[in-house]
Structure 1
Amino acid sequence: MKTIRINKSLIVGVLVAVMLSACATSKDFLSENFARVRNTHQRIAILPFDVQFENPSNRSTDNTNLKFSKQEREASLDAQKEMFTYVARQVQKGHYEIAFQDFTRTNKVLSDNGIKLEDIARQNKADIAKLLGVDAVISGDLAIRITQIDRRSPQMLPVYRNNDGVETNVKLFDAASGEMLWSTTLSQRPNNQMDTPHHLSSQLIEQVAKHLPYRTK
């Protein structure tokens, strides 16, 4: 019988490479003031995400006149809704002892005050928080780069460019001071046909929702 020898170090190396390519996390930032103001936060709002697709056809190159494309607009609201849904689950599980403003309420207040989706990123977050009647706001952005090459690998898997993937940066701002209290950056590269931009974004947002600095257990 032929004996097959397995190189354990090679297997470990491959597994590590797969894990690193699947999801990379930057170190979280946490303000020294967070512990002091944490107990003053009772209600938090999640803002629509600032979404940018690579080479979007409808986005103006003039930074003073940015306009979301239909695709970016839908992705912005989808990310906000998913974030709210995920944090609501964490509250139900007892992981957070704070309230999150319903995203539909947040969007109505923003709309009633003439604040467009593409304007949110440039707005003062303390002013928005006070407008929404919350103690803090969560602001996030998504950079989506999926430019799959048509050709297939010998294993019939799609081939992606080296910089393809989705990255999200999420920040928490205090209403009283406007200070950024916490931030995290997550990125993930596509590995198979199931890794659509929405799928990758949803995975990253879920991870963020599970690791907000308010977690009690």
Structure 2
Amino acid sequence: MKQKLFAALASIMLFSCGPQIYKSADFSNALSKHKTVAILPAEVSMQLRPNQAKSTTPEQMEEMTVKTGYDVQEKMYGWFLRRSDKYHYTVSFQDVTRTNAKLKEAGITYKDLKTTDRSKLAQLLGVDAVMQDRLSMEKPMSEGAAVAVGLLVGAWGNTNKVATTINIHDGNSGNLLWKYDYEAAGSVGSSTTRLVDALMRNATKKFPYSVN
């Protein structure tokens, strides 16, 4: 049964708008000083189909978005680790387990991340920069039962559209240095692993810490 489920969730097709990239005026100067970067849990929002929204409790919705946020964080970290030899990154990425432990120790919750100053986070985490992905997902589940599936196995059914923004903030000033906006539509993955793979394949081409 599980094999059939994952087989049904396996395909990824992307129909995308070209990425938009923002760089600050002190981008190059600031990046040259960065040695360690922390990846924060992703900020996730989901827009359900009307019938799904009716059958989904606020608690289920919150649990799924938080779980997805931490899953995306972990998968992004894994992406960078697996490709470090290929792209020769100029920085090291803090282990997300350490990142999350430090945040928890400081009493900073998932909800707090949205409003906490980035320089404060960088100082707390002991890094030179902080990176966070922001995902807006439309119709992320193919049927009502997918809520339970998403919570149990990290899969939600094919997503019709995902808008992603990757932000890198300087740890010293807290200023936004680099912003990557990308939108993909169609059948955009069925799990955080496939979603991150699809989105990061595009982001990596423009990623500031890579040496191609």
TM range (shorter): 0.7 to 0.9
Farther off after superposition, 91-100 or 169-178: 91-100
Q: CA deviation at 1:132?
A: 0.1
> TM-score, with normalisation over the residues of structure 2?
0.74
Q: 1:209 to 1:110 in 2, by over 3 A?
A: farther
1:203 aligns with 2:193: no
Amino acid of the structure 2 residue aligned with 1:80: Q
Larger Rg: 1
Structure 1 ranges of 4+ moved more than 6 A: 147-150
2:195 maps to a residue whose letter is L
* Residue aligning to 2:28: 35
Amino acid at match of 1:41: H
Amino acid at match of 2:42: F
Task: Decide whether the 8 Å contact of 2:189 with 2:198 is kept in 1.
Answer: no
SS in 2 for 1:109: helix
Structure 1 unpaired stretches of 5+: 1-18, 61-66, 151-162
Pair 1:215-2:210 in alignment: yes
Cα distance, 1:33–1:75 mapped onto 2, change above 3 Å = same
Letter in 2 for 1:47: L
Kindly tell me: are residues 58 and 33 of structure 1, through their superposed partners in 2, closer, same or farther at Cα, counting changes over 3 Å? Answer: farther
Q: Is the 8 A contact 1:79 1:205 kept in 2?
A: no
Amino acid in the other structure paired with 1:34: F
Which fold has the larger relative contact order, with Cα–Cα distance below 8 Å and residues 6 or more apart in sequence?
2
Query: Percent of aligned positions with the same letter in both sequences?
Result: 27
Unaligned runs of 5+ in 2: 1-12, 144-158
What secondary structure, in the 3-state scheme, does the structure 2 residue paired with 1:190 have? strand
- SS of aligned partner of 1:140: strand
**Alpha-carbon shift at residue 206 of structure 1 (Å):** 4.2
Letter aligned with residue 178 of structure 1? G
Residues 53-96 of structure 1: CA distance to partner in whole angstroms, max 9, x if unpaired?
Answer: 11565559xxxxxx971111110011001111111223222431
Corresponding residue of 1:188: 184
Q: Which moved more, 1:173-182 or 1:202-211?
A: 202-211
